[in-house]
Amino acid sequence: MTLKEEFATRNFSIYGQWLGILSMILCFALGIANFFNLFRIILVLFAILCLLSSFIILFIEVPLLLRICPTSSSFDAAIRKVSTNYMRAGTYGVMALIQWLSLTVGTSSLIAAAVVLTLTALCYLLAGVKGQAFVGSKTLGGAGVAQMIV
């Protein structure tokens, strides 16, 4: 199935997965950009949380990496728990809430990460409410690609 065919399925979990990849890229870039903020030290803490979120998203959205990267069994178990649409929506919701809370310190570019994380959570929530089964993108290592390696 090509990427165009995946988007044509109108399954919100596919949209959520691709928005998750966009969230990961934004969280990584904005986390680094705000890490060097010398005037607001508390904002640096939110930048660190944003960076951590990007790595968590990477393992959630690209399941192939759990097979390739040497991680602990407890980390693997925690990531595998985030497998349903509702769990993913909740996880992204918590990460979005953390970034929205960064606005209490002051406005920063972390708001972009908060917006995209919120949109990702909404896509997964819509998929869950509509009763759509989670469908992983074949491009990102879902749908049996990880099992072929082992």
pLDDT at 142: 56
Pick out the chain residues at pLDDT < 70.
1-9, 136-150
Sort 8 into a burial class: Cβ within 10 Å, 0-12 / 13-18 / 19+. exposed
Residue 36, exposed/middle/buried by CB under 10 A (0-12, 13-18, 19+)?
exposed
pLDDT at 15: 86
What pLDDT does 61 receive? 85
Q: Could you state, in order of their start, the residue ranges of all structural domains in the chain?
A: 3-149
At 35, the amino acid letter reads F
At 17-36, the pLDDT tens digits run 889 999 999 999 999 999 88
CA distances from 88 to 41, 71, 101, 105, 135 (A): 30, 20, 20, 27, 13
pTM of the model: 0.84
Question: Between the CA atoms of 134, 139, 142 and 143, what dihedral angle is there, to the nearest 10 degrees?
Answer: 90
CA distances from 82 to 16, 61, 106, 130, 149 (A): 13, 10, 31, 19, 22
pLDDT at residue 125, rounded to an integer? 94
pLDDT of residue 4: 62
